[in-house]
Amino acid sequence: MSGLRREPLLDGHGRRIEDVRVSVTDRCNFRCQYCMPADGLPWLRRDEILSFEEITRIVRLLVEMGVPDVRLTGGEPLVRRDVPSLVRMVAGVDGVRDLSLTTNGYLLERDADALVAAGLRRINVSIDSLQRDRFFQITRRDALPQVLRGLDAIARHPEVRPVKVNAVAIRGFTEREVIPFCDLARSTGFQVRFIEFMPLDGDRAWDRDAVLTGSELRELIAAVHPIEELPREPSSTARVFRFRDGRGEIGFVDPVSDPFCAECNRIRLTAEGALRTCLFSHHETDLREPLRSGADDDELERIVRAAVWRKELKHRVGEPGFRQPARTMSAIGG
């Protein structure tokens, strides 16, 4: 752990926070239907976004409070200039246990070597179809060949494991993708994970009926490939299964049909320095203003603790009265 230890970070429900998702930019070079409108969103100004030094300072403080797992997200993180430098800075924080990155893979071929040299050891690459025309249909970008080259580039580094491939499961679309993704997992060693469609889309078109659930996906897979569940790690978002013949793993993140809120140990930092205690929060806590106004670490700690103490018990998706947050997924950070 870090040289300076602070009291563990707990919420008001007794959950210990150990994971922070840090958005490094709200910008993205894709326009995925489940995330952003086709014509995009207004971007933050450069001076509104936290600097690498500010991000690293907050990460260091959180590590001192017992939050050792850090995931860098966007938007698309690799569209921000020189993200490998940020990876190096965060990896150098004493006490960071797990540093990972979520990317759409478009710029991964360019950055893979630099990211690994900087200290990246885990990565999630979002790919919703392995067919070029259907990939375009979802992302509104003809980019599948480039994304697959990026996936190959990062896979050449054995120190980056596991390499996870994330696919959002949408009824009427993903059913045709399931077995090809199984074949990918079985032939490459990538862990493919299906993530239920969540109400965070820019078009506000989410509907419960559009959610292709994890249990339905498992039935589709089991009809072709027998699978068996592996022990679930504490606070894991995914249920992971292995193919019974030993060739590969497949994961399911089911926040709509099987919420894992009771074990949630995550908080999020937006690109402009707002602390969010749930993906579906309607409230945020500004850390940028005190950070830039000269607050010391003890003052920042008090602000963080007060916000986390109010962390939501659960997200309430699908319950009467649920309201989709104003921010889309791209503006929150995965």
The domain that contains 41 carries what CATH number? Answer: 3.20.20.70
Instruction: Judge whether 9 lies within some domain.
Output: no
Instruction: Give the contacts of 219 (CB within 8 A, at least 6 positions apart).
Output: none
Q: What is the mean pLDDT of residues 118-144?
A: 96
CB 297 within 8 A of CB 62: no
> What rounded mean pLDDT belongs to the chain?
90
* Domain limits for position 282: 19-332
Predicted confidence at residue 2, as pLDDT, reads 47
Q: What is the pLDDT of residue 234?
A: 73
pLDDT for position 150: 98
* Residues 240-246, mean pLDDT to the nearest whole number: 95
For 95-107, how does the pLDDT look when each residue is reduced to its tens digit (9 = 90+)?
Answer: 999 999 999 999 9
Q: Whole-angstrom Cα distance, residue 333 to residue 23?
A: 5
pLDDT of 160 above 70: yes
Minimum mean pLDDT range among 65-69, 70-74, 202-206, 272-276: 202-206
Residue 267 lies in a domain: yes
Contacts of 77 (CB under 8 A, 6+ apart): 23, 24, 25, 83, 101, 102, 103
- pLDDT value at 239 more than 80: yes
Inter-CA distances, 254 with 91, 137, 145, 177, 273, Å = 30, 23, 28, 17, 28
Going through 24-121 in order, the beta strands assigned E by DSSP cover 69-73, 98-103
Q: 102 by DSSP, 3-state: which?
A: strand
Residue 325, pLDDT above cutoff 80: no
Query: Across residues 114-127, what is the average pLDDT?
Result: 97
The pLDDT of residue 332: 67
DSSP string, 300-315: HHHHHHHHHHT--S--
Name the percent of the chain in helix, strand, coil, to the closest 5.
Answer: 35, 20, 50
Asked whether residue 203 is domain-assigned, the answer is: yes
For residue range 38-64, list pLDDT tens digits in order.
Answer: 777 788 999 999 999 999 999 999 999
Structural domain contains residue 6: no
Distance, CA of 327 to CA of 242 (rounded, Å): 35
Say which residues have a Cβ less than 8 Å from residue 299's Cβ, sequence separation at least 6: 290
* pLDDT exceeds 90 at position 281: no
Q: Of 213, 179, 178, 216, which Cα lies nearest the Cα of 198?
A: 213
Percentage of the residues of the chain whose pLDDT score is greater than 70: 90
253: enclosing H helix or E strand: strand 249-253
Span 218-246, mean pLDDT?
A: 92
- What's the mean pLDDT in 240-254? 94
Task: Give pLDDT, residue 4.
Answer: 82
Domain-embedded: residue 37: yes
pLDDT tens-place string over residues 13-23: 999 999 999 99
- One-character DSSP codes across 189-214: --EEEEEE--S--TT----GGGB--H
Q: Is residue 315 part of a domain?
A: yes
The residue-averaged pLDDT of 310-324 equals 70
Residue 252 lies in a domain: yes
Beta pairing, strands 191-196 & 227-229: unpaired
Question: What's the longest Cα–Cα distance across the chain?
Answer: 60
What pLDDT sits at residue 321?
63
Is the pLDDT at 69 greater than 50, yes or no? yes
In angstroms, rounded to a whole number, what is the distance separating the alpha carbons of residues 330 and 75?
Answer: 4
**What are 283-300's pLDDT values in tens digits?**
899 999 999 999 999 999
Q: How many domains does the chain have?
A: 1
Band of the pLDDT at 134, cuts 50, 70, 90?
very high
Residue 248 clears pLDDT 50, i.e. is over it: yes
Residue 315 confidence class, pLDDT cut points 50, 70, 90: low
Q: Is residue 31 part of a domain?
A: yes
